[in-house]
Every structure is written in structure tokens, then in C-alpha cells.
Amino acid sequence: MSQSYRVAILGATGAVGAELLELLHSRSFPLADLKLLASERSAGAKLPFGSSMLSVEAVSDRSFDNVDLVLASAGGSTSKYWAPKAVAAGAVVIDNSSAFRMDATVPLVVPEVNPEAVASHRGIIANPNCTTILMAVAVWPLHQVRPVKRIVVATYQSASGAGARAMEEMKAQARAILAGETPKTEIFPYPLAFNLFPHNTAINELGYCEEEMKMVNETRKIFGTEEIKISATCIRVPVLRAHSEAINLEFAEPFSAIEARDILKQAKGVKLVEDWQANYFPMPAEASGKDEVLVGRIRQDISHPCGLEMWLSGDQIRKGAALNAVQIAELLATKKLLQTQGAAVYK
Ligand code: A2P
């Protein structure tokens, strides 16, 4: 990577934005310039990048002039509005929102799974949903050896998935409850501290919420197959950071837990965490701040001869969002794909 790039972070003041800044610095991404963008509320704020402090600008029509790469993490409607403008101005956008993920012309990429998909980008590359990324990293290595027929997953999703303000809200709720006061809710529909509730996205006619359907549809797109049957139950839990998932896999033929463990021990982006004597397995507190998806409790499903059970915890802000985006950026830089193929593809 001898070339260096002019990068903008849209949503720099958010939880994922902070992690993008840290990762661009710690992974020495070749930067020619770094522009921090957010809403008007944040104009003039300063954020750390290594040992310097950089100013935040309010995003505007001129923000993407002379920018090669935009890392966007400012919500779906913001991306829908600004990403096509950034592409028209000549930048490539790696978008962390759900706005473009299921667009057939937009690659949806987990670098450990489908790195080759970046080659077909037309200006926008989508970063998958956090729970989907974590599951894909853990299931793909097994799927490579024997195809998965069906996945049944339950998630335990932390406050961080709803952004920096949601994390603060949960902390304030915990303080309020411990002080005997009524907790306030603004971001979440119900108090999350000392509680849990099903993921509060819109529910479809089949009874599945949007987050659950993201796991179904995005996993199929990333794996490049419509054949896998997937059912998900997504739950928000009172954990500050890092999501966990209980995953049941059904294969076409028997898959021993021993073999699965051996495969996952060597899998990219996975760290096997298992001490059966100590009952020690992946925990969100230990996954927080880590790059790898922690996987463990791999066991034979006693209810099905071709079934496996496993458990994972992964940092939603890091591998579930910012790290995956930066890895995509590194892929683009290595493959010399940081040019759009003509402007205004997305209207
Ligand atoms: P701001 O801090 O100025 O509101 P999180 O998901 O952690 O809540 O972060 C959301 C990020 O998206 C923040 O950086 C936020 O900036 C940014 N953002 C939200 N709405 C807009 C908008 N309309 N235009 C630009 N940035 C936005």
C-alpha cells in the first residue's frame, strides 16, 4: 500500500466513529487527509486522532470534494442522502447503515468470508449488520467444510448497538434504579438496565423484527446462497458493549464437535474460548475491545444427529462495525479499487 488516501468519516462523533478513528490510527491506514463529519450539532467539536486533536465539520454539499474514501456510520437516512452525493463527487463509500445492504448492485462484505465481492463495487460497499457479521465469521469456516442447511440463532445484544447515546442512557438508568428513582427512556422504548426486551425494530407480518430479518437476508447474500434456512430471535440485553449469540446449526450430514473445534481454532477472525472444567466460555466483557469473535461451548446437538450448538461473543462496535469497515478499506487499497466507475450510479 504505497498510495495514501483522503478519507472522511461521516458520523465521527458516534460510538462507531470513535472506533473508526482509533482503528485508522492503530492499523496505520495510509492517510493523505482525514476529515471528520457529523451533524451541525457537532461542528467545531474536537476528537483525538493519535496524539493530535481534529475538528469536526458539519456535513455539507462540499464535504466530499477531494475525498477518496468515506466511512459512513451516521444512520440509514443520513447515508441514503449523503452516500450518492459522495459517490457523485468521486469517493468510494463504505456504509455501515442498512440503507444499501440488500441493493443487488452493492457488495455486502465480510472480509473473512467474501473478500472477492469488493471487486464489483460501483461506489458503495455495505458493511453488514453487526449480529450478522459476528455469526458469519463463526459459521463460514464450518460451512466451507460441510454446507449448513439451517441456522437457528438467538442474540443477546448490548446497548452499544443503538449508539453512544444509548450506552449513556443505560448507565443513567442503572444509576437511577440504584438510587431508587424511576429510570428515564429516550433512545430505548423501555428501561434496559436490569431488564431485557426483544429488539425494538418494526415487526413484519410473520412476526419477525427487522433485526431478525437482517440476519436472515444478509447472511444469505454474504454466503452467496439462498438455500440456507435461517430463523433468528434478537434480544437487547443490559450489557454495555459486545453482542453474544447462541447458534444452532444443522448440516446435511453429521459434523462432530471435535472437528468443528479444530476448524474454528484455525479460522480467520475467530478465537476459540473454551475451558470446560472451569465453565469458562466467551463473555461480552472479555470480547469488548477485541478484534476476534470469541467462540466456544461447541457441542453436539442432542436433539439432532447433524446438529451443532455454539456460543459466541464479539465486539459489536469493532468487528461488528468499525473494524469490518476498515478491513474493507484495506482490501480496497490493496486491490487498488479505490475509484468509482463513473459518478451518480445511485440516485
Ligand atoms: P452528531 O453527534 O452530530 O449527532 P451513534 O450511532 O453513536 O449515536 O452516532 C451517530 C453519528 O451519526 C454521530 O456522529 C452523529 O453526529 C451522526 N449523525 C446523526 N444524524 C446526522 C445527520 N443528519 N447528519 C450528519 N451526521 C449525523
Kindly list the protein residues whose Cβ atom lies closer than 6 A to any atom of ligand 1: 11-15, 17, 38-39, 41-42, 59, 74-75, 78, 163-165
Q: How far apart are CA 273 and CA 293, in angstroms?
A: 10
Specify the pLDDT at position 341: 47
For residue 346, what pLDDT is reported? 53
CA 63, chain centre distance (Å): 25
What is residue 340's predicted lDDT score, i.e. its pLDDT?
54
Distance of CA 280 to the CA centre of its chain: 25
Fill in the amino acid letter for 340: T
Identify the residue whose C-alpha is closest to ligand 1 atom 16. 38
Catalytic residues: 130, 243
**Identity of residue 38:** A
Across 36-55, b (16+ Cβ under 10 Å) vs e yields bbbeeebeeeebebeeeebe
Domains present along the chain, CATH in parentheses: 5-99+321-334 (3.40.50.720), 131-316 (3.30.360.10)
| Contact present, 192 and 238 (Cβ < 8 Å) | yes
Q: Is 279 exposed, middle or buried (0-12, 13-18, 19+ CB in 10 A)?
A: exposed
Reading the chain (347 residues) residue by residue, the pLDDT tens digits are 479 999 999 999 999 999 999 999 999 999 999 999 999 999 999 999 999 999 999 999 999 999 999 999 999 999 999 999 999 999 999 999 999 999 999 999 999 999 999 999 999 999 999 999 999 999 999 999 999 999 999 999 999 999 999 999 999 999 999 999 999 999 999 999 999 999 999 999 999 999 999 999 999 999 999 999 999 999 999 999 999 999 999 999 999 999 999 999 999 999 999 999 999 999 999 999 999 999 999 999 999 999 999 999 999 999 999 999 999 999 999 999 986 544 445 55
Report the pLDDT value the prediction gives residue 342, as an integer from 0 to 100: 47
70 Cβ neighbours under 8 A, 6+ residues apart:
7, 8, 9, 10, 64, 83, 86, 91, 92, 93, 94
Centre of ligand 1 to C-alpha 182, Å, is 28
DSSP state of 184: P
Mutate to test the pocket of ligand 1, among 39, 47, 64 (most ligand atoms within 8 A of CB): 39
What is the Å distance from ligand 1's center to 38 Cα?
A: 5
What ligand 1 atom has the least distance to the C-alpha of 166?
8
183 and 176 in contact (C-beta within 8 Å)?
yes
